Amino acid sequence: MFDLSGRFALVTGATGGIGGAIARALHAQGATVALSGTRREALEALGAELGERAHALPADLKDPAAVDALPGAAEAAMGGLDILVHNAGVTRDNLFLRMKDEEWSEVIQVNLAAGFRLYRAALKGMMKRRYGRLIGITSVVGVTGNPGQGNYAASKAGLIGMSKSLAAEVASRNITVNCVAPGFIESPMTDSLNEKQRDGALAHIPAGRFGAGSDVAGATVYLASAEAAYVTGQTLHVNGGMAMI
């Protein structure tokens, strides 16, 4: 089950904790992967670690032209594009009353608008080949909201609504569009919490621990697989039970 041999996958934000785990998992299942991110050295290091079937494709998702070109570049590098995981995301947290226009627009641009452009560019080939897996990494806060993250929650909720609409448009072409919504995942951000903050967060997680990148990667591999052909327009929550929705 979940064999991805012969499939071609593009992952944005591949140098992050979650993105790296997703890229490793897709690769481990046999997929050829195109790794995208802004840090060229980190991408090349991950590519070297994975060895064969890995391509580093640096791109700045704040640049619309670069975003438009990325799926084509991935297809050219790998020889196809079956799976696209839009995982790249930024935060610019601030209280709503203090939020700057730039903080709003940068988060929307990278997390949501780049997803729109990537999906649009990838769709043509997927429609022709009658196969595709589009997966957006959203967030539990896109569904629950979170104080200080009006921009981030809006972008992640937007990704869910966009995915549902597109899922309805292209389901008949054997293309599925889904989201994975992580909760608290171990990362430099959770590492920087003090003990009180950490305990406060854990009190809301029935599983009693933060998630690992591999937890998110497992859900992503499932949605990327042939076995998930009849699952579309869905959001798979990976949050240890902190929000059951």
Binding site for other proteins (CB under 8 A): 124, 127-128, 169-170, 172-173
Closer Cβ to other proteins, 174 or 187, answer by number: 174
Is 203 one of the annotated binding-site residues?
Answer: no
Known binding residue 131? Answer is: no
Closest CA to 158 of 219, 213, 104: 104
Nearer Cβ to other proteins, position 34 or 166? 166
Which residue is catalytic, options 119, 131, 152, 222? 152
Q: Answer whether 27's CB lies under 8 Å from 34's CB.
A: no
Total residue count of the chain as it appears in this document: 245
Residue 155 is assigned to a ligand binding site: yes
Rounded to 5 degrees, what are φ and ψ at 186? Answer: -55, 130
**CB of residue 11 to other proteins, shortest distance in Å:** 26
Strand blocks (E) in the chain:
8-11, 32-37, 54-58, 83-86, 132-137, 175-182, 235-238
Shortest spacing between CB 210 and other proteins, in angstroms = 42
Q: How far apart are the first and last CA of the chain?
A: 27
Considering beta carbons, is residue 17 or 80 the nearer one to other proteins? 80
Q: What proportions of the chain, in percent to the nearest 5, are helix, strand and coil?
A: 50, 15, 30
Cα distances (angstroms) measured from residue 86 to each of 12, 32, 44, 117, 244: 5, 16, 19, 11, 23
Residue 83 or 126: the one with the smaller Cβ distance to other proteins is: 126
Of 11 and 175, the one with the shorter C-beta distance to other proteins is 175
Least CB distance to other proteins at residue 129 (A): 12
- To the question of whether residue 185 is assigned a binding role by annotation, the answer is yes
The minimum distance between CB 68 and other proteins, in angstroms, equals 14
Tell me the backbone φ, ψ of residue 211, rounded to 5 degrees.
-75, 165
Is residue 131 annotated as a catalytic residue, yes or no? no
Instruction: Find out whether 128 is annotated in a ligand binding site.
Output: no
114-129 vs 150-170: helix crossing angle, rounded to 10: 20
Question: Which among 204, 169, 156, 162 has a CA at the least distance from the CA of 184?
Answer: 204
Q: How far is the CB of 159 from other proteins (least distance, A)?
A: 22
Tell me: is residue 153 an annotated ligand-binding position. yes
Residues assigned a catalytic role:
152
Bind-site residues for NADP(+): 38, 87, 152-156, 185
Bind-site residues: 38, 87, 152-156, 185
